[in-house]
Amino acid sequence: MDIGIPILTYHSIDNSGSVISTSPTKFQSQMKCLHDKHFNIISLNEMVKCIYERQTVPPKSVVITFDDGFKNIYSTAYPVLKEYGFTATVFLVPGYCGRNNQWDGQPKEIPVMDLLDWEEIREMADNSIDFGAHTMDHADLSRLLAEQAREEIVNSKHVIQKYLKKDVRLFAYPYGRLTNEIKDIIKTNFSGACSVKLDFASLESDIYTLPRIDMYYFSKNNYFEYIDTSIFFVYVKFRSILRSIRNKVVTKL
């Protein structure tokens, strides 16, 4: 069954049980599942290139991404990714690298956690892990003036490039929030960008608002084991509908 390409979104790999957390045991089992079922883990850069050039994506392709750049990506996720020979893309908040995740607007229910430092980032960058930008300060771009938004976006790219000596081509919108003006800035500076729309990617996807699958929806169940069946597809679509309804209700309140 051709269900499209899952772009998986993780945040923190820890045992806190928070809405941004996947336990180390669960992460290990999910990566083992992908390996045992012979999925092709491709980079997000490769995925964007396939869409842009209208190339066929390798069969059974999956993309792995991490938002925010938590330190436990290095200590917990990275060894597992290396074990299975998987690549991934980590979206960094460079203004907070080496610090913690207490940026403005952080919900109180999110635990305080350390973020990757540049030494850890460089090591991973030299070993098959890609890095993208997530603004300098995890800013809600939709609330900023155009020039402020531009600075958050462009500076985040330049800082990461300065430390890694590599071109940064990918972006992820904090909170998934953007405007047409923000999207135009992204188009000028990046090859592709990820949204928080819950869906599968395809060759028809807009490379500047790529949908992803938030792994929160698989943190407390075993539905991920069905990733090679229609059950997985139906579950993701069901969660997407529920989230859409909830967002509409919240907007009206």
Q: Do the domain assignments include residue 1?
A: no
**Mean pLDDT in residue range 40-44:** 98
pLDDT above 60 (res 158): yes
Q: Do the domain assignments include residue 175?
A: yes
Tokens 């109180």 label which residue?
108
Looking at residue 246, its pLDDT comes to 84
**Mutual angle of helices 146-164 and 180-189, in 10-degree steps:** 30
**Mean pLDDT in residue range 98-118:** 96
Contact 224, 33 (CB under 8 A): yes
Q: How far apart are CA 239 and CA 102, in angstroms?
A: 29
Domains contained in the chain, number: 1
Looking at residue 247, its pLDDT comes to 79
Q: What is the CATH number of the domain that holds 231?
A: 3.20.20.370
DSSP state of 101: S
pLDDT above 80 (res 173): yes
Domain that holds residue 27: 7-252
Looking at residue 250, its pLDDT comes to 57
- Measure the N-to-C terminal CA separation of the chain; round to a whole number of Å: 39
- Per-residue model confidence as pLDDT tens digits over 230-241: 999 999 999 999
Q: Do the domain assignments include residue 206?
A: yes
Q: Do the domain assignments include residue 2?
A: no
Contact 125, 97 (CB under 8 A): no
Model confidence at 248, in pLDDT bands (50, 70, 90)? confident
**Mean pLDDT in residue range 166-186:** 97
Q: Do the domain assignments include residue 166?
A: yes
Q: How far apart are CA 36 and CA 253, in angstroms?
A: 45
**Mean pLDDT in residue range 40-60:** 96
CB atoms within 10 A of CB 247: 10
Q: For the chain, what is the mean pLDDT?
A: 96
Looking at residue 217, its pLDDT comes to 97
- Per-residue model confidence as pLDDT tens digits over 124-156: 999 999 999 999 999 999 999 999 999 999 999
Q: Do the domain assignments include residue 159?
A: yes
Q: Do the domain assignments include residue 215?
A: yes
Q: What are phi and psi of 103, to 5 degrees?
A: -80, 165
Looking at residue 252, its pLDDT comes to 53
